[in-house]
Structure 1
Amino acid sequence: MKPDDLNLRGNGTAARQAFNRALLNPASVALIGASSNQKKNTARPLRFMQKHGYAGAIYPVNPSATVINNVKAWGSIDQLPDNVDHAFVMIDSAGVTNVIEQCARKGISVVTIYSDGFAEAGEEGIQKQRELYATAKRLGVRVLGPNSIGLANVHSGAVISVNAAFEMDNLTAGDIGIISQSGSMMGSLMSRAAARGFGFSHLVSVGNESDISVGEILDAMVDDDATRVILLFLETLRDVQTLSGALERAHNAGKPVIAYKLGRSEQGDALSQSHTGAIAGNDAAVDAYFRAHSVIRVNMLETLFEIAPLAARYAHLRPDTWRDTPVRVAVVTTTGGGAATVVDNLGLHGFVAVAPPTAFISHMAGRGLNIRQTPVIDLTLAASSEQYQDLLTEIMQTDWCDAVLCIAGSSAQFYPQYVVQPILNAVETTHGNRKPLVAFLSPEAEASLQLLQKNRIAAFRTPESCADALAAFFVPLGQHQQETRRPVTLPVGYPTRGNLTEPEAMAVFSALGINVVPSAMVQPHAPDHSIDYPVVLKVVSRDILHKTEAGGVRVGIDSDEFLAAALNTMAEQVTAHSPQAKIDGYMVQKMEGRLVELMLGYRHDPLVGPTVMLGAGGITAELKPDFSLRLAPVSEEVAWQMIHEVKHTQLIRGYRQLPEGDCKALANAIVAMSRLALIDAQPVTEAEINPLFVRQDGVVAVDAVVRMRDQSQM
């Protein structure tokens, strides 16, 4: 059976199952370029599979050897039996395309390419990769890589990889799947997590993703019975459409997806691009994408695997709505200093260690345990293991906290039965389903950590990763997309590329249903208009993006005489500043009152697609970032969440008895702006209202920018 007969690129159930099996659970593997020299990387996959008990058929391909590690070697791919499930290619890049053709003739359906020198190597490599993909697609072969360090099925021992991490004597099988865009990090994560007692189902290095993407692998892990939690180490996002579908399936299947993505800093973003050959994207947009698709994004590498038990056990408790109040954590400790380090880090994430209420203190006193009304319940030398367990059991059934944090001191290192067993018993007694419970062990306590891990209780070695995990877990998941999909069109006759003039941009926003400031066009020789004074005067030109710097904005004009003088002065200043700019005229706008200035924006992000943003506006917008961002379009419910997330909006939401603004109108404006994503072919690449004035009786756009995508980009 040839790959095109099986149609592994199809969407049917049979095709998906066949692809998943060949990728993650192959019954036979060809090692093309396998070496008999055990010092070489290319000798490792055969050695690893023998070492870790792979029971399937292995076919080393090496024209210079007849036997490698007591396994028959084959002189060429053409000599192999038909329909080997998976081939691992470890030869020079110049011969890879020819190998794809040979694999197709033998019915090998999935090929992982370790060879480098493709897209990561520059323009010549990019073209070589395109040709490789075109050949594979034409022949029906699925390709993982190139530049992939390989993959492994820990349960079966199918270690199709050259990663040195698999030299370890014993691989710990478990229910965590790892998908990594960095081959070396795949091994690093496995070794770090395995040392903590975490076990894995599959580990996959995607390489350059010329064909098989992170999304397809994730989709396969969703169908994999051995995988319960999926970890992603990402440098960029590719094939977002496929990834989005896979993330939706993972969420529906109850399999948490946890991501660590590089690129939060400007330099980190540049480094990840150079490694993967990827395009840049806005990291805030990536955050919005993860949130929309229920992905838990962590900031610390250690948290990536430490959070897995928390995500798996308490997935049903993740919040789906924004809350105005901080997350309340009941902190129970047997070490004062250790508790302080975690509480301090929780505070940095906006969490609060909450003191038990008086009624609960009385309740526990009646059960024989005296505790104080302090933010940390300190049981140091004050309670038996039975009382500790009883306290946790009672807290787990209350409603005065949102999570429980158990902090253990030195006893965890030598007496896990005293500090860990009560935690396990309390979770089992309450079925652990009313609120999340996690543990932080202050000393290095390997036995206690592994006992907690074995019983699927999240345990942390550092206060930073503990706080990071709780903060990531409590980020509200998902978003309700716009219920209505009414078609949206731009005004007829407007430019289809480049910058719109401000009057044109205002017309776009008005067509969306956003209230815009009254305005009129004037010229130095024709200053007449019908706008009530006082007014603002602005230059109108597609070539001048920053009007203020060019002398193209004048405020507070209160008479015809003042306007005439301002027009002449502005014309001279703009010409001197931008002599090549084409001036379409000048716009007079009514000066509007407001309670606050906000910025409302839209951007077609290169990684995740359309996004909408609300933030503090005016000239201070860039000084201290204060914004909320979502994938577009959004519903009114999500728009309200965004309003509450922007701290600046507290000034119009009843803060210290200040006048309240029309937040209903603001929410409607956010929804309207987000509907730019519904225009056919999505021609708008960027749009911005800054400032958007919020008043007691509505909102009004007083400055407008719209940029259209070039036709060549659409």
Structure 2
Amino acid sequence: MKTAATPIDFKQALFSPRAVALVGASGNLQKNTARPMRFMRKHGFAGQIYPINRTQSEIMGEKAYADLAELPGPIDHAFIMVASDLVYPMIEGCAKAGAKVITIYSDGFGETGPAGMAEQNKLISRAKELGVRIIGPNSIGLANLQSGLILSVNAAFEAETLIRGGLSLVSQSGSMMGSLIARAAARGFGFAKSVSVGNESDVTVGEIIDALVDDADTKVILLFLETLRDSPTLAAALERARANHKPVIAYKIGRSEQGDALAQSHTGALAGNDVAVDAFLRAHGVMRVRHLETLFELAPLAERYRGKTHPHPTPARVAVITTTGGGAATVVDNLGLNGMVAVPPPPAFIEHMATRGMNIRETAIIDLTLAATSAQYKDLLEQLLQTDWCDAVLSVVGSSAQFHPELAVKPLIQAEKPTTKALAVFLAPEANASLALLQQAGIAAFRTPESCADALSVFFEAQTEAPPNLPVTPWPAALPRTGLLTEYESGQLFSTLGLTTAQAQRVPLNDLSHTVPYPVVVKISSRDIPHKTEVGGVKVGVHNQEELLASAAAIEKNAAHHAPAAKVDGLLVQAMEAKLLELILGYRNDPLVGPTVLLGAGGIAAEISPDFSLRIAPVSIEQAREMIKEVRITQLVRGFRGLPQADCEILAKTIADFSRLACVREVNVLEAEINPLFVQAEKVIAVDGLVRLA
């Protein structure tokens, strides 16, 4: 009779199970299904392992069981490795055996199409009824390298010795999980945990991150992403990681176009899903790298300095010290491409170093190739790390790193290194011994100038704020709750948010009486015509009643020709407005990350040369100010060459107020846009609007 085990929670069952079942384990060492048992015996897992196999009574010297019901004791975690059609019947047996978590290696589910997705949904529905959490299906498994728990078939764990360390990896690609562990291990990086989430049908990346936040062995969390799922859970987990000072570094492949084909605004075309994903990751403190190797190379830099460096100006200033001028130049070039600048030492620092017996020059690269001893190099490095004229120090080491690592690395390791200023090292030659020494000392060292610049740039740029937590925005009772709003209705919505809109009046086609002062703009009003200019539905510069009648007749004729099925509810007569600058202000409920807000150059310029800034919505006034600065064309109203200036605080408030569409709960706002948004000296006016509801 089985003895009931002391209850444990999801996180314990996930990474620290006391007993595991290997469902479908094989004694044939040539099969993948033999690997978990072999790996755990090799790497010292101390818990109980129960192999389940209907045809074998013994596997690798362990008693095997034909059925989960035969187990002599309870389990916490099961790893299923059987054909897809056999998985569903196993779920109930795992639950009855005590499993809180089931990791499913088997494929043939949601990744195969509609029929597979139906089977996957059936599987998850049953697991929820039984109170069991599912990793996968189609997961290559997970591992706790600290304890030797290897519930995985990944060949990376064939290594005779696993390097244990503070990195934990969550991957949406099973094969890349092993590849990254192998690549990092070759550089001396050790891991605490690794998880392949597979189809992410139940347990998501966000939930794994949340578990790792509470894991004492995990110092830095690495993510290999193909897409984002369950962004609210992911956002909450990332904020917990930030609050607990656990850096998160991500590498994401691909550019999803999901949802863009449905967009009826320019916002969707300007900023696709990948831009929104980038904004989401930055908003929650994630450092998204561009080079795969940077994913783990950045870890020592993030662990040692993340959240401890002082605020810095833009662009970030890097002091470069080198023993190889050419090698340093390759990094400096890449720093510039990544939005940073190599700064020369100021005269006061040069004079200071002269008093310490070292002559340096006011150049962007402090080249000591022929002029310094190890002691002098160490002294200069320590002095640079104490200055206030740079934000990071980069040491570029030449051939001595390859042939005399003790000479090249010694001053770097021995120098006093405050945690308030980042230090990074680039080794110009292939110098594995020096890389290993630096890695052991916890110093971020890079093999290529590209990954070095990539690491430094994301280290600085990712330090942004999460979206503010604002109260719910009520939906105006008079407005529709589904479909496309007319421009007049859109203007009413924008007014309730606090925006200034151009004076306008909707009039029927048979009575053009209005009170809007001339000159005016006349537009077709129809929920079926989102882009009025494309059907000849707009006339500008209408100066009197006679011109109004002619314009109305032309607009009605054009609409009947280009959109004969459209239901027209009249015309919109709108006051003409002047402008210093024309912008676009857009909102989109992105299918991957949720609400986003975009500010960009309006008019033709928006399509010829995209110039925009995007944030997760809603945004604060301070975040709106940042967006204004990021849009290059706004320089024209910010004092550029004596041009008339606008009140950018009003513009910032307009952006923040508009972004509160993200706080609407009664109605699903899919997208909204003001194009153009006119910026005047003392006002910001919404001149045209589009809103699409679910």
Tell me, yes or no, whether TM beats 0.5. Answer: yes
Structure 1 position 318, deviation (Å): 5.6
Distance in structure 2 (CA, Å) of the matches to 1:167 and 1:174? 18
Structure 1 position 320, deviation (Å): 6.9
Do 2:287 and 2:462's aligned partners in 1 also have CA atoms closer than 8 Å? no
Q: Does 1:231 align with 2:222?
A: yes
Query: Which residue does the alignment assign to 2:478?
Result: 493
Render the CA deviation track for 1:667-687: whole Å, top value 9, x for unaligned.
111111111122224421111
Query: Which residue does the alignment assign to 2:460?
Result: 474
Q: Does 1:594 align with 2:579?
A: yes
- What letter corresponds to residue 437 of structure 1 in structure 2? L
Structure 1 position 265, deviation (Å): 6.7
Structure 1 position 185, deviation (Å): 0.6
> Given the alignment, which residue of 345, 353, 356 partners 1:367?
356
Render the CA deviation track for 1:484-508: whole Å, top value 9, x for unaligned.
52x4223223211110000000110
Q: Does 1:208 align with 2:194?
A: no
Query: Which residue does the alignment assign to 1:356?
Result: 345
1:678/1:74 CA distance change after superposition, 3 Å: same
Query: Which residue does the alignment assign to 2:396?
Result: 407
Query: Which residue does the alignment assign to 2:646?
Result: 661
Q: Map 1:277-426; keep pairs closer than 5 Å.
A: 282-317=273-308, 323=313, 325-426=314-415
Moved more, 217-226 or 241-250: 241-250
> Given the alignment, which residue of 148, 158, 163 partners 1:172?
163
Distance in structure 1 (CA, Å) of the matches to 2:667 and 2:342? 46
> Given the alignment, which residue of 57, 61, 64 partners 2:48?
57
Render the CA deviation track for 1:564-586: whole Å, top value 9, x for unaligned.
21211121122111111111111
Render the CA deviation track for 1:670-709: whole Å, top value 9, x for unaligned.
1111111222244211110011011111100001000111
Query: Which residue does the alignment assign to 2:680?
Result: 695
SS at match of 2:588: strand
Q: Map 1:22-101; keep pairs closer than 5 Å.
A: 22-101=13-92
Do 1:480 and 1:638's aligned partners in 2 also have CA atoms closer than 8 Å? no
Structure 1 position 524, deviation (Å): 4.9
- What letter corresponds to residue 499 of structure 1 in structure 2? L
Distance in structure 2 (CA, Å) of the matches to 1:77 and 1:609? 42
- What letter corresponds to residue 33 of structure 1 in structure 2? G
SS at match of 1:554: strand
Q: Map 1:509-658; keep pairs closer than 5 Å.
A: 509-658=494-643
Structure 1 position 480, deviation (Å): 5.6
Query: Which residue does the alignment assign to 1:447?
Result: 433
Q: Does 1:461 align with 2:452?
A: no
Render the CA deviation track for 1:259-297: whole Å, top value 9, x for unaligned.
111234759x99xxxxxxxxx972222222212211111
Distance in structure 2 (CA, Å) of the matches to 1:645 and 1:265? 24
1:678/1:318 CA distance change after superposition, 3 Å: farther
**Could you list the runs of 5+ residues in structure 2 that have no partner in the other structure?**
262-270
Do 1:88 and 1:160's aligned partners in 2 also have CA atoms closer than 8 Å? yes
Render the CA deviation track for 1:524-559: whole Å, top value 9, x for unaligned.
543332222222121111111221111111222222
- What letter corresponds to residue 391 of structure 1 in structure 2? L
> Given the alignment, which residue of 669, 673, 689 partners 2:658?
673
Moved more, 493-502 or 676-685: 676-685
Query: Which residue does the alignment assign to 1:712?
Result: none
Distance in structure 2 (CA, Å) of the matches to 1:107 and 1:524? 72
Distance in structure 2 (CA, Å) of the matches to 1:170 and 1:628? 47
Cα RMSD after superposing both structures: 2.1
Distance in structure 1 (CA, Å) of the matches to 2:96 and 2:256? 47
Regions of 4+ moved over 4 Å: 318-321
Distance in structure 2 (CA, Å) of the matches to 1:51 and 1:366? 59
Q: How many residues align?
A: 684
- What letter corresponds to residue 347 of structure 1 in structure 2? G
1:286/1:523 CA distance change after superposition, 3 Å: same
1:61/1:338 CA distance change after superposition, 3 Å: same
SS at match of 1:317: coil
Do 2:481 and 2:667's aligned partners in 1 also have CA atoms closer than 8 Å? no
Query: Which residue does the alignment assign to 1:120?
Result: 111
Structure 1 position 251, deviation (Å): 1.3
Do 1:83 and 1:109's aligned partners in 2 also have CA atoms closer than 8 Å? no
1:636/1:198 CA distance change after superposition, 3 Å: same
Query: Which residue does the alignment assign to 1:273?
Result: none
- What letter corresponds to residue 633 of structure 2 in structure 1? H
Structure 1 position 391, deviation (Å): 0.5
Do 1:318 and 1:473's aligned partners in 2 also have CA atoms closer than 8 Å? no
Distance in structure 2 (CA, Å) of the matches to 1:223 and 1:254? 11
Distance in structure 2 (CA, Å) of the matches to 1:681 and 1:43? 53
1:320/1:364 CA distance change after superposition, 3 Å: closer
Structure 1 position 523, deviation (Å): 4.6
Distance in structure 1 (CA, Å) of the matches to 2:639 and 2:272? 36
Query: Which residue does the alignment assign to 1:248?
Result: 239
SS at match of 2:44: coil
Distance in structure 1 (CA, Å) of the matches to 2:133 and 2:637? 55
- What letter corresponds to residue 388 of structure 2 in structure 1? D
SS at match of 2:236: helix
Moved more, 18-27 or 228-237: 18-27
Do 1:634 and 1:674's aligned partners in 2 also have CA atoms closer than 8 Å? yes
Distance in structure 2 (CA, Å) of the matches to 1:680 and 1:55? 50
Distance in structure 2 (CA, Å) of the matches to 1:595 and 1:433? 46
Distance in structure 1 (CA, Å) of the matches to 2:214 and 2:337? 38
- What letter corresponds to residue 398 of structure 1 in structure 2? T
Question: Structure 2 length normalisation: TM-score?
Answer: 0.95
Structure 1 position 623, deviation (Å): 2.4
Query: Which residue does the alignment assign to 1:193?
Result: 184
- What letter corresponds to residue 315 of structure 2 in structure 1? P
Structure 1 position 304, deviation (Å): 0.6
- What letter corresponds to residue 429 of structure 2 in structure 1? P
**Could you list the runs of 5+ residues in structure 1 that have no partner in the other structure?**
7-13, 271-279, 710-714
Query: Which residue does the alignment assign to 1:11?
Result: none
SS at match of 1:405: strand
Distance in structure 2 (CA, Å) of the matches to 1:688 and 1:353? 40
Do 1:2 and 1:107's aligned partners in 2 also have CA atoms closer than 8 Å? no
SS at match of 1:618: coil
- What letter corresponds to residue 73 of structure 2 in structure 1? D
Distance in structure 2 (CA, Å) of the matches to 1:561 and 1:2? 93
Do 1:524 and 1:564's aligned partners in 2 also have CA atoms closer than 8 Å? no
Query: Which residue does the alignment assign to 2:102?
Result: 111
Structure 1 position 607, deviation (Å): 1.9
Question: Structure 1 length normalisation: TM-score?
Answer: 0.92
Query: Which residue does the alignment assign to 2:264?
Result: none
Distance in structure 1 (CA, Å) of the matches to 2:171 and 2:274? 18
